[in-house]
Amino acid sequence: MHQGPQNVAVILPAAGSGRRFGGEENKLFARLAGLPIWMHSANRLRAHHRVARIVMPVAAQDRPRFENEYGESVQKLKIEIVDGGAERTDSVLSGLCQIGDDASIELIAIHDAARPLIRSADLDAVFAKADQTGAAILATPVTATVKQSFDAGASCRTIDRSTLWLAQTPQVFRVPVLKSAYARHRGRAATDDAELVQRAGINVAMVSGSADNLKITHPNDLIVAEAIIKSQSEFQDA
Ligand code: CTP
Ligand code: MG
């Protein structure tokens, strides 16, 4: 599983505003174990032997920071910065345009810059599945008891969780699969890229990933992420 040519292009959407995280600046600049969140994500993807290119859509107001304050790292990591858009799908589309018709690329992996804890073994697994099927995402089975609420919580019932999974990133697609899904996309809201691909009639396989591949959404997530990073470096399993 550690074989494979260097033929993966990564789109690392970083153009959000971090509204739920709060604060003055994009949450991706918040420090996690001494580095900004986005840099952990970029480092881990750049360290994977199959990753050829990393394209990072950023918001217009953040571009000077990425190019100046972090310009050296951006260059060292060979990150191609492009303009993001109002919706995440707009940012991904901008990344897709930047990749263009690059014949050396077989797979495109879309990974939230806000998921700094991605493990290399999970990258191996989801890349391998996408090689086989054309479309694969990391996800984890739901472990909690899931309730459907009625009348704003006045009553509820249990939902069978045996078929329920939580989607993560990376979401990985063969180039024509992702291109055709985005060509069909007419602005209808989609919560992730897998939904667009599946709407285009293509099956998306799920690969069971580590539950600790969390997305930093609220400030408390950073506390959990610090603890996970610490345990990953203790076990050298990052
Ligand atoms: N993202 C993006 N372009 C957008 C919106 C989001 O590139 N128009 C990116 C974010 O920067 C993040 C990833 O998509 O890395 C996942 O989005 P999310 O966690 O929702 O981040 P934000 O949209 O920034 O946060 P919020 O929804 O709380 O505002
Ligand atoms: Mg968002």
The 10s digit of each residue's pLDDT in 190-230 is: 889 999 999 999 999 999 999 999 999 999 999 999 999 99
pLDDT at 237 over 70: no
Q: Give me the CATH topology for the region 8-237.
A: Spore Coat Polysaccharide Biosynthesis Protein SpsA; Chain A (3.90.550)
What was the pLDDT predicted at 234? Answer: 76
Radius of gyration of the chain (CA): 18
H or E segment to which residue 20 belongs: none
- Alpha helices, DSSP H, located in the chain: 37-46, 63-64, 71-76, 88-99, 120-133, 175-184, 193-199, 219-234
Which ligand is nearest the CA of 216, by number? 1
* pLDDT-derived band at 89, boundaries 50, 70, 90: very high
Other Cβ atoms closer than 10 A to 107: 26
pLDDT at 7 over 50: yes
* Residue ID of nearest Cα to ligand 1 atom 6: 16
Based on the number of CB atoms within 10 Å of its own CB, is 4 exposed (0-12), middle (13-18) or buried (19 or more)? middle
pLDDT at residue 236, rounded to an integer = 57
- Residue 41 CA to residue 112 CA, distance in Å, equals 8
Residue 214 Cβ < 6 Å to ligand 1 = no
Ligand 1 atom closest to 26 (CA)? 24
Round to whole Å and give the CA distance between 226 and 231.
Answer: 9
Phi, psi of 184 (to 5 degrees): -80, -20
For the record, the structure tokens of 62 come out as 């953040």
Q: Is the CB–ligand 1 distance for residue 95 below 6 Å?
A: no
Ligand 1 lined by 62 (C-beta under 6 Å):
no
Ligand closest to CA 193: 1
pLDDT in tens, 119-155: 999 999 999 999 999 999 999 999 999 999 999 999 9
Does the CB atom of residue 84 touch ligand 1 within 6 A?
Answer: yes
Per-residue model confidence (pLDDT) at position 214: 97
2 pLDDT band (50/70/90 cuts)? low
Residue 107 CB partners (closer than 8 Å, separation 6+): 7, 8, 9, 50, 127, 130, 131, 172, 173, 174, 175
Q: Is 217's C-beta closer than 6 angstroms to any atom of ligand 1?
A: yes
CB of 40 shorter than 6 A to ligand 1: no
Q: How far is the CA of 104 from the centre of ligand 2 (A)?
A: 31
